Amino acid sequence: MASQKKLLLVVMDGVGSRADSFGNAVKMAYTPNLNFLKENCFYTELKAHGTAVGLPSEDDMGNSEVGHNAMGAGRVFAQGASLVKEAVLQGALFSEKIWTELMGELKSSQKTLHLLGLLSDGNVHSHEDHLHRLIKEAAKSGVKRIRVHALLDGRDVSAQSAEIYLERVEKIFLEVRETCDAQVASAGGRMKVTMDRYNANWEMVRLGWETHVGAKGPVFNSPLEGLDFYRKENPQIVDQDIPPYVIRDQKTNRPEPIRDEDSLILFNFRGDRSIAISRAFEEENFSEFKREPNPRVQFFGMTQYDGDLKIPKKFLVTPPLIDNTLGEYLCHLGLKQFACSETQKYGHVTYFWNGNRSGYFDQSLEVYKEIPSDLLSFDEKPWMKAYEICEETIKAMKAMSFDFGRINFPNGDMVGHTGDLAASVSAVATVDLMIGKLIKAATASGYSLIVTADHGNCEEMFDLKAGENFSPKALKPKTSHTKSPVPFSVFDPNFDTKKFKNLAKDPTLAHIANTVLCLLGEKPRECYFESILQVK
């Protein structure tokens, strides 16, 4: 059953709202269409970080995963960061059967426990505290040999901060060294190895396999020595772009590969950048690249990254069960849906929007369009695939082929992560241009538009510590997300700005689902947070 009203939700990924124009790519960009929406249409701002999206505290930045979960679910679930923090730091994980059995096997076999993941306290994909506790508890359980494979961040934390986290984990090694041989075995930037997502670049995953499993690559005596080498080679290099390297084992004086019967825990808790490497470890008939070497390894995820595909099969912390999502409910109502983005964010308008669920609810009612992303650094082509996403969407609008659509422009986030202010300004201007095209298409077709974002990023491109005196030397690129609120605009093709009334107090991303139902003329769901607005 088609709806008489039709609606498109536009997510400007990583475009937050911040009053200060200094280092603010959104304020610096030419944005006549965003200005029009703010000045002439229904406009408010939404909270998109911390407890409002299911994260442990108000100090936690929002991210695309939890943002799209909240939008699609219409309410807040305790996210991986919260669940893992509680399970690890409160100790419940270490009394679970899966952990005690693994520790018993490692103790009796004298095999190595490998710990692979993002080494930082960004708390978006992982947290160093979880790694530290895993090392301590494994050593306490009698594990004699631990090797850490450190993915360097510079994206969810300061651009050049890897030495802080490497030094901290070295202190943990010292704490357990009397009973356990613990060392870093390999390292590399998260955007160079291992942490690919959505099948965008399997070569990146293959290089990670070669580095972590095969112990192949440039060899250094310590992880800090390798970091220092690449920093001297390129003083401006961001940690996420550090090439992969391996570390000489302190006992054998050579890099050591992962061997048969070793065990590996991927200690990242976020799913999108964990699935590809998990598949490489688990799939018997894996065909994306040749795994050389290919040891028989017991593989565990910190949590299960895809509940439908059961990736991975073994995991330490049960993920949140997100049910009754908006996408599923709209299918129940018989409404047609459209979802589109390029590869970098395609899973966010499908998998994460649908509550960490792969596939369709009803393929006869849903159309998902993925535009393949370019394999380029995002600052080299800040417009990315915005035009192609826009054209696909306008074509569907002209055909009146969907009742509710959702699209994601990744530019503000992916370019913002590079720390390049000029490129980020271009990225925002590109998105604004596409929104202008969508406003024209909506006017012609009768669609309404919601224009919002999932979290902040490119509105704060410099990392200045509180209390630090301003100087050119103090300017450091900020490559992480932010805690800024995000814009929320509703464009009605009839230009009737008086028909909407503010309803929700302190609105968040989780208030969007019932707002969508309101604008479609459907009854609100009691299980969702209230609508942001009311139609008079």
pLDDT at 465: 58
Inform me whether the pLDDT recorded for 473 exceeds 70. no
Percent of the chain surpassing pLDDT 70:
97
List of E strands, 419-485: 448-452
- In this prediction, residues 284-289 reach a mean pLDDT of 95
pLDDT score recorded for residue 198: 81
467: pLDDT confidence band, cut at 50, 70 and 90? Answer: very low
How many Å apart are CA 18 and CA 13, to the nearest integer? 15
CATH of 81-317 given 3.40.47.10, 3.40.1450.10, 3.30.565.10, 3.40.50.12280: 3.40.1450.10
Please say whether the beta carbons of 33 and 433 come within 8 A: yes
- Cite the active site residues: 64
Partners of residue 337 on adjacent β-strands: 366, 404
Global confidence as pTM: 0.79
Omega cis (within 30) before 293: yes
- Enumerate residues 6+ apart whose C-beta is below 8 A from 267: 115, 116, 117, 126, 130, 131, 134, 302
What's the rounded Cα separation, in Å, for the pair 264 and 435?
45
pLDDT at 498 over 80: no
Residue 90 burial (C-beta neighbours within 10 Å; 0-12, 13-18, 19+) = exposed
Is the pLDDT at 461 greater than 90? The verdict is: yes
Mean pLDDT of 465-490: 77
Rounded Cα gap, residues 61 and 76, in angstroms:
15
Query: pLDDT: is 102 or 63 the higher one?
Result: 102
Please report the pLDDT score of residue 55 as a whole number: 85
Distance CA 25, CA 478 (A): 12
Task: Look at residue 24 and tell me whether its pLDDT is greater than 90.
Answer: yes
Average pLDDT, integer, range 249-260: 96
Q: 516 pLDDT exceeds 60?
A: yes
Distances (CA, A) of 36 to 59, 409, 451, 491: 32, 19, 12, 10
Q: What's the mean pLDDT when you consider all of the chain?
A: 94
The pLDDT assigned to 497 comes to 72
Neighbours of 221 (CB within 10 A): 11
**The two structure tokens encoding residue 264:** 């590996």
Q: What is residue 443's predicted lDDT score, i.e. its pLDDT?
A: 96
Give the residue among 505, 503, 511 at the shortest CA–CA distance from 534: 503
CATH of region 7-78+322-535, choose from 3.40.50.1820, 3.40.720.10, 1.10.3720.10, 3.40.50.720: 3.40.720.10
Chain centre distance of CA 102:
29
What's the CA gap between 303 and 81, in Å, rounded?
10
pLDDT at residue 107 is higher than 90: yes
Which residues belong to CATH 3.40.720.10 in the chain?
Answer: 7-78+322-535
Encode pLDDT of 115-167 as tens digits: 999 999 999 999 999 999 999 999 999 999 999 999 999 999 999 999 999 99
Which pLDDT tens digit goes with each residue over 188-229?
999 999 999 888 899 999 999 999 999 999 999 999 999 999
Q: How many residues does the chain have?
A: 536
pLDDT number for residue 464 = 66
Mean pLDDT value across residues 66-81? 92
Cα distances (angstroms) measured from residue 66 to each of 322, 442, 456, 462: 11, 28, 13, 24
Q: How far apart are CA 80 and CA 60, in angstroms?
A: 13
pLDDT grade for 466, boundaries at 50, 70 and 90: very low
489: number of Cβ within 10 Å: 22
Q: Which amino acid is at 113?
A: L
Check pLDDT > 60 for residue 17: yes
Report which DSSP code applies to 288.
S
Residues 452, 42 contacting (CB under 8 angstroms) = no
